[in-house]
Amino acid sequence: MSATLFSPLQLGSLELANRIVISPMCQYSAIDGSASAWHRTHIGNLSLSGAALLLLEATAVEPEGRITPACLGLYSDDNEHALARVLDEVRQFSDMPIGMQLNHAGRKASSEPPWRGGTLIAAADGGWRTLAPSPIAQRDDEAAPAELDHVGLRRIREAFAASARRAARIGLSAIELHFAHGYLLHQFLSPLSNQRTDEYGGLLENRMRFPLEVFDAVRAAWPAGKPLGVRVSATDWVAGGWDVEETIELARRLKQLGCDWIDVSTGGLSPLQKIPLGPHYQIPFAKAVREATGMTTMGVGLVTQPADADKVIRSGEADLVALARAVLWDPRWPWHAAAELGASVTAPPQYWRSEPRGVSKVFSGASFGQR
Ligand SMILES: Cc1cc2nc3c(=O)[nH]c(=O)nc-3n(C[C@H](O)[C@H](O)[C@H](O)COP(=O)(O)O)c2cc1C
């Protein structure tokens, strides 16, 4: 029988109950990188959704790697303790596996949150000098980042590994490395942002070098068997930029290094991008990577309807679907999908009686006494 949206999947040593993943979503609500009361509310809410895996937001491996001053980090003992406290509380009520996306924002750091325009914050206004493979600004009207030297590269590689060790200590179930959306590791991959003349720039082999070194360092720091994946942007949507053929080669190399899944997104590197937005617009890229490499693949982007998500899995376009906006809009999306597709999800017993008329047996293990 072919896989369905509600069939289990093994990711390394982690068994996922179904194919629905909550995509990483920045909350811009941390204090000096530490999780806040908002995170308890937000993670607690999504942990009751019945999805198979919740991936926490892009989390910075050093302070300069935060997209905004309010981004989550996992670079200090305070960060680690704050997140551990939140997770301990969430886990009292949910056994949903929770993973984390690790990131360095590179030249897209030191920015305002989207609801304040997302523009670069100058050092005089509480921002900081950003770092990148080459001193090329994202936009013409922005200050150029500082070019990373070999000392800086080693520091960042070690920061990724150190954050992975912290993630293991607080019991996170999976790590996804952010190679997408124009952040530092994507900046190394794309010839538009990487114009180095050393061994980290130029040919594809050289542009992949630093991201692959980071992957290797994290794989060594993260317990064997625990799943480690990568989110890529399969294309810059700009002529002469990073493209799907290069993505496939990167995926092949990651597979050899022990990568458990590829999460296929697109774009985010250049303001010149032209994205043909529409339902499932990125799924063909996931399919191309899956077919070429045989890797476990996560599809993402405007997947909103349960029957369509099911079709993505059944037709073998992807092994997992990641949802972002649809699950913020409807945090019980997996419950409703299970009801529509005749499947079941795990939900807290306090909510078992919520099944409307005509819907039954959506909650696995639910039983009701009559008094
Ligand atoms: C509020 C919000 C925050 C996001 N933050 C991140 C992030 O931290 N890391 C990331 O890779 N993508 C991030 N994204 C992109 C989503 O993970 C997802 O790839 C994108 O929204 C497309 O999926 P959707 O159509 O299901 O929303 C964010 C999206 C939203 C809406």
- pLDDT, tens digit, 9 for 90 and up, residues 304-332: 999 999 999 999 999 999 999 999 999 99
Centre of ligand 1 to C-alpha 191, Å, is 24
Any ligand 1 atom below 6 A from CB of 26: yes
- Phi then psi for residue 257, to 5 deg, are -90, 0
CATH of the domain at 76: 3.20.20.70
Euclidean distance between CA atoms 281 and 305, whole angstroms: 14
Q: Please report whether residue 128 resides in a domain.
A: yes
Q: For a pocket test of ligand 1, which of 20, 21, 23, 108 has the largest count of ligand atoms closer than 8 A to its C-beta? A: 23
Q: What's the CA gap between 315 and 287, in Å, rounded? A: 10
Residue with the nearest Cα to atom 23 of ligand 1? 301
**Residue 298: φ, ψ to 5°:** -110, 125
260 in a structural domain: yes
Q: Is the CB of 25 under 6 A from ligand 1?
A: yes
More confident residue, 368 or 140: 140
Q: What is the pLDDT of residue 370?
A: 61
298 lines ligand 1 (CB under 6 A): no
Average pLDDT for residues 4-24, to the nearest whole number? Answer: 98
pLDDT tens for 64-118 read 999 999 999 999 999 999 999 999 999 999 999 999 999 999 999 999 999 999 9
d(CA 24, CA 55): 5
pLDDT digit string, tens, across residues 191-246? 999 999 999 999 999 999 999 999 999 999 999 999 999 999 999 999 999 999 99
Under the banding of pLDDT at 50, 70 and 90, the label for residue 2 is confident
Is 75 within the bounds of a domain?
yes
How many angstroms is it from 228 CA to the middle of ligand 1?
19
What's the pLDDT at 367?
A: 79
pLDDT tens sequence across 279-294 = 999 999 999 999 999 9
Over residues 361-366, mean pLDDT = 91
* Cα–Cα dist 26/21, whole Å: 15
Residue 181 · residue 233 · CB < 8 Å: yes
Average of per-residue pLDDT across 132-144: 95
Q: For ligand 1, atom 10, name the residue with the nearest CA.
A: 24
Could you tell me if the CB of 269 is within 6 A of ligand 1? no
Q: How many domains does the chain have?
A: 1
Give dist(CA 3, CA 320) in Å, integer.
10
Confirm or reject: Cβ of 182 under 6 Å from ligand 1: no
Residue-wise pLDDT tens digits, 49-66: 999 999 999 999 999 999
The distance of Cα 307 from the centroid of its chain, to the nearest Å, equals 24
Query: What SS3 state is found at 146?
Result: strand
In the 8-state DSSP scheme, what is residue 357? T
The reply to whether 361 falls in a domain is: no
Q: Is residue 99 part of a domain?
A: yes
Catalytic site residues?
183
Domain with 15, as residue range(s), is: 4-354
- pLDDT averaged over the chain? 97
Q: Mean pLDDT over residues 181-186, rounded? A: 98
The pLDDT of residue 1 is above 70: no
Query: What is the CA(57)–ligand 1 centre distance, in A?
Result: 9
Number of Cβ within 10 Å of residue 126's Cβ equals 9
